[in-house]
Amino acid sequence: METMMNPTSILVNIEDISMLKEIKQAISMIKGVVSVEKSEATKSYERSCADVKAGRIIKCKDKEDFFNKLGI
């Protein structure tokens, strides 16, 4: 009779995003690891970096300048 096991998740918080690739590779080598997923925070960080590279940012002197540029 086979025993069905429920998967267990482990959350790893990474402060230095530049280490993500190496950490994913190391975790993937552990026997039984099925998948390594990016967190929403990582995805958001990567989108933010892409916005900066593409020039999709605005520069503001202060919060008042920010709100003025938004038309608020």
* Low-confidence residues in the chain, pLDDT < 50: 1
pLDDT for 32 equals 75
pLDDT for 3 equals 52
Per-residue b or e along 13-23, where b marks 16 or more CB atoms closer than 10 Å to that residue's CB = eeeeeeebeee
- Judged on CB neighbours under 10 Å (0-12, 13-18, 19+), 36 is middle
pLDDT for 1 equals 45
